[in-house]
Structure 1
Amino acid sequence: MTHTMGVGQFRLSFGFAPVLHIRIWSDYTGSWIEEATLVGEHEKTIRSVTFSPNGKLLAAASFDEKCTIWALADGVWDCMARIEPNSTEVKSVSFDSSGQYLAICTRNHQVMIWDAMSDDYFDTCTANLDGHTQDVKRVLFHPNREMLVSASYDDTIRIWRDEGDDYECAQTLRSHTSTVWDVAFNDEGDRIVSCSDDKSVIVWEPIDKVELDGWQVACTAQGVSDFPLYSVDWQKGKIIVSGGDDCIRIFEVQTRPAEDGGGIRLEKVDEKDSAHAGDVNCVRFSPVDTGVFCSVGDDKVVRLWSV
């Protein structure tokens, strides 16, 4: 069972396998109700879902070699576009802060950017980013800059920048020793956290904090779990991590005293044992309720938590 999750304003969406549908839940009334079930488009596992910033579009990536884009109009969700990138599994999707561009990543090592404002929605690939040598597991736009981060089975993270005519790889981050499954920005966008099959969590920061250039390791938490780490998110100084066991771990980003060399460290402040009956595949903070996050697992359960 694979669950992936997108979080939008007062909405949650989940992709399910093997039943191959997307469920959208909302809490406009103060309690969570199922708003819609999106079916009929995907034939294999739905790997990733995400809302556009305004909550009116939803993108879904699937192992059936297709990405679908759904639009909300008059209270109804309809599939309004399909992207089929070179007959390869689509692993992750991310909208930029304007909602105009959608990044996807694939099993054949590619990162691609598609334009929502083209003549026929999402029919134009504006950038094809090559560089990874293995599956790309995660792609994520910066919260407010023309910058993109990708994480891969090749153990690396790549930083991509819009150089006017195209996105170019500005830097490759290599401190993980196995598959990098997930990445997240902090609220300010000047730090990145990553988690990996090597069971570590790494926080990265740039040397140039204005241009966000020269990314380097700020701190590392090794041996976070005895199992691979699949998902990570960051909000208000708190980092949540989940993976191949039943546990969710919560870390606080703390400033080291000057006498200890300064910088930052990750301090584990909570551990939710038996959060799910099996792998916890994804954790995401709510963008509207600070300190509230969701988790989804192999046990077919969706849970809401408070930090």
Structure 2
Amino acid sequence: MAEIKLIGKEDLKCFQKHNFPICSINLGKDVKMNERLLCNECLLNFIQENNIIQGFNIIQSKIENNIQEYRHKQISFIAQKKQQLVSLKNNFIAWKSTINQQIDQILGYINLWIDNIISKNIIKDKYVIMEELENFVNQYEFHEKNFEFLVEQINFINQASSNKIQLKLAQLNEEYRKIITQTKDSFMKIINISQHKISLKPINNQLKQSDDCFTIAFNYTGQIMISGCGKDIKVWNFQNGQIQEVQKLQVHQSTISCLLFSKNQNSFISGAYDHTIRCWLQINGQQWKSSQKYEEHSSDIQCLLLCKKEKTLFSGSCDKSIKIWIVDFANNNLQYCYSLEKHTHIVYGLTLNESETFLVSCGDDQQIIIWKKSNNNKWEFYQLVNQSIREVGAVTSFIKENLFIWIGGVQNGKDCVSYFELIKGCIVEQKNKEQQLILSPEVFNYSLFPIVFNKEKQIILFRHKFHIYLLTKQISGKYRISTKIKFESNEIWGSMTNDAKFLVLWEKKQCRFLIYQIEYQTI
């Protein structure tokens, strides 16, 4: 890929025309373009603001990375369309050759047919008068019989030749239908009509559980499932959508609210309404060992989040705080570090961007708060997001390095998926991407069903009130609702396996588990 050239950067001056290098950028939304560049002299006249970012080279590097990402996306898209058109052209060339061969064969049959007819065109020019007189006197039907014989011969030739041609026409018609079908499919791919569709096939709905199940999680192989069962944790064998209870872990003193499995080993973390968090380690192949209870929170645990390397745990609670922990799965323990205190009510949702430089939290105080990792690897308050929808934030999740979604949870709310994007160091709501969900003003959207984002298959799973939604990514980069399931109650909890092949839910109305196989097809 050719090197990017940013034209004009050599001539950049600060907006007050000082003769000093550019050192900072003003990222405020209301700032005019020619007032964004700042030097050290300019900064003397500015009160320190969150939207002033130091380090012009860093911003320039991010701009170049954004351009490279766009160019790569553009080049890949055009190359894909070109390849599809070349493939379509080559198909037509191949079809033309095949059809021409079949038409040539038909023409050969017709020529042979003509030759056979011509060979029967033997009409005598000379007749013996006395023979013809005898035929006339005795009323012989000599010529009539000869003519009938000729007709029989011609009919035989016609039938045989016609059979050959009809067989070839049938083959040609079959080839033609095949060409039409394949051509339509090729056209649909080229004009971007072809999309992946998801359907959910129910495979098991017979398992009953009367105790509340607010959380479900799967191990990294997808063969072990854990679920809440009141204040206990159930461990299940999970094979091709069939589950079998193995054991029940009974150490928490109140309802299990969060379960979080390691993506690398058979260890998990549990949180409960008894205000405690525990680590669990599998020993001897089947048994599970609990750590001590960690009681830094003073109220119910509402959400748990692990970083990719699984060395840091974030926990949100009804005590309004987010706690930061060091995780040691090998020794089955946690170490409390510090607390993030900015929310004024329950913390319901947590998410990290891919590079793990930003943490987003939301909750009952109708705030979306951005936390940033500082140079000393400590999380600090960064931004309070300006959002158009002032509702309780039930869940949130990054779906891209600089893009996250947020879903509210109140009665008579907007009932939509909101998108927020990191632009020039500032989180900005993207109203044009907002997706309307089914309006259900009569109920709340409960928490404890985190958004599940499968990056490999680009699938988003979430629950909103009465519905379970699955969103898939389109070639345009946008996500659309691929399928949804409606329930009679809004009390539904569950999760999806890591390979996005199975969905397991528990719904309170009938106190039962529901298992679905996720099927993919192209339409």
With structure 1 as the length reference, what TM-score do the two structures score? 0.77
Q: What is the correspondence of 1:21-36 to structure 2 with a 5 Å cutoff?
A: 31-36=199-204
- Residues 247 and 271, structure 1, Cα contact 8 Å, conserved in 2: no
Measure how far apart 1:97 and its partner are.
2.4
Decide whether aligned partners of structure 1 residues 231 and 75 sit closer, same or farther in structure 2, where only a CA change above 3 A counts.
closer
Measure how far apart 1:131 and its partner are.
0.3
Measure how far apart 1:178 and its partner are.
0.6
List 4+ stretches of structure 1 deviating above 4 A: none
The residue number in structure 2 matching 1:174 is 341
Decide whether aligned partners of structure 1 residues 74 and 46 sit closer, same or farther in structure 2, where only a CA change above 3 A counts.
closer
The residue number in structure 2 matching 1:233 is 397
Letter in 2 for 1:267: E
Question: Which one has a larger percent strand, Structure 1 or Structure 2?
Answer: 1
Structure 1 residues 74-107: Cα deviation after superposition (integer angstroms, max 9, x where no partner): 7632122322223311101101221321111011
- Residues 232 and 284, structure 1, Cα contact 8 Å, conserved in 2: no
Structure 1 residues 190-224: Cα deviation after superposition (integer angstroms, max 9, x where no partner): 33211110111122221137xxx310123222555
* Worse-superposed segment, 104-113 or 221-230: 221-230
Letter in 1 for 2:289: T
The residue number in structure 2 matching 1:217 is 381
Q: Hey, what's the Cα distance between the residues in 2 that align with 1:71 and 1:152?
A: 30
Aligned to 1:47, what secondary structure does the other structure show?
coil
The residue number in structure 1 matching 2:430 is 268
Measure how far apart 1:59 and its partner are.
1.9
Q: 2:238 aligns with which of 72, 80, 105?
A: 72
* Worse-superposed segment, 185-194 or 130-139: 185-194
What is the aligned-residue RMSD (CA, Å)? 2.6
Structure 1 residues 42-63: Cα deviation after superposition (integer angstroms, max 9, x where no partner): 322221112222222222124x
The residue number in structure 2 matching 1:184 is 351
Letter in 1 for 2:322: I
- Residues 200 and 224, structure 1, Cα contact 8 Å, conserved in 2: no
The residue number in structure 2 matching 1:6 is none
Q: Hey, what's the Cα distance between the residues in 2 that align with 1:73 and 1:284?
A: 21
* Worse-superposed segment, 271-280 or 165-174: 271-280
- Residues 253 and 274, structure 2, Cα contact 8 Å, conserved in 1: no
The residue number in structure 2 matching 1:88 is 254
Measure how far apart 1:276 and its partner are.
4.7
Structure 1 residues 238-292: Cα deviation after superposition (integer angstroms, max 9, x where no partner): 2111122352333233232xxxxxx3323234323343524344433234322x3
Aligned to 2:214, what secondary structure does the other structure show?
strand
Letter in 1 for 2:427: R
The residue number in structure 2 matching 1:17 is none
Give the share of equivalent positions with the same residue, in percent.
Answer: 15
Q: Hey, what's the Cα distance between the residues in 2 that align with 1:74 and 1:228?
A: 37
Aligned to 1:123, what secondary structure does the other structure show?
strand
Decide whether aligned partners of structure 1 residues 57 and 192 sit closer, same or farther in structure 2, where only a CA change above 3 A counts.
farther
Q: 2:457 aligns with which of 282, 286, 289?
A: 289
- Residues 218 and 264, structure 1, Cα contact 8 Å, conserved in 2: no
Measure how far apart 1:120 and its partner are.
6.1
Decide whether aligned partners of structure 1 residues 198 and 74 sit closer, same or farther in structure 2, where only a CA change above 3 A counts.
closer
Q: Hey, what's the Cα distance between the residues in 2 that align with 1:68 and 1:190?
A: 35
Gapped runs of 5+ residues in structure 1?
1-28, 257-262
Q: Does 1:98 align with 2:264?
A: yes
Q: Hey, what's the Cα distance between the residues in 1 that align with 2:287 and 2:305?
A: 18
The residue number in structure 2 matching 1:156 is 321
Q: 2:286 aligns with which of 106, 113, 121?
A: 121
The residue number in structure 1 matching 2:135 is none
- Residues 280 and 295, structure 1, Cα contact 8 Å, conserved in 2: no
Q: 2:419 aligns with which of 203, 228, 251?
A: 251
Q: Hey, what's the Cα distance between the residues in 1 that align with 2:445 and 2:292?
A: 33
Gapped runs of 5+ residues in structure 2?
1-196, 473-478, 480-523
- Residues 224 and 237, structure 2, Cα contact 8 Å, conserved in 1: yes
Letter in 1 for 2:244: D
Q: Does 1:50 align with 2:212?
A: no
Q: Does 1:206 align with 2:389?
A: no
- Residues 136 and 153, structure 1, Cα contact 8 Å, conserved in 2: yes
The residue number in structure 1 matching 2:207 is 39
Is the radius of gyration larger for structure 1 or structure 2?
Answer: 2
- Residues 313 and 326, structure 2, Cα contact 8 Å, conserved in 1: yes
Letter in 2 for 1:114: W
Q: Hey, what's the Cα distance between the residues in 2 that align with 1:154 and 1:215?
A: 19
Aligned to 2:430, what secondary structure does the other structure show?
strand
Question: Which one has a larger percent helix, Structure 1 or Structure 2?
Answer: 2
Letter in 2 for 1:272: Q
Letter in 1 for 2:435: K
* Worse-superposed segment, 216-225 or 177-186: 216-225
Measure how far apart 1:298 and its partner are.
2.9
Q: Hey, what's the Cα distance between the residues in 1 that align with 2:387 and 2:292?
A: 37
Q: Hey, what's the Cα distance between the residues in 2 that align with 1:224 and 1:132?
A: 31
Letter in 2 for 1:160: W
Q: Hey, what's the Cα distance between the residues in 2 that align with 1:195 and 1:139?
A: 13
With structure 2 as the length reference, what TM-score do the two structures score? 0.47
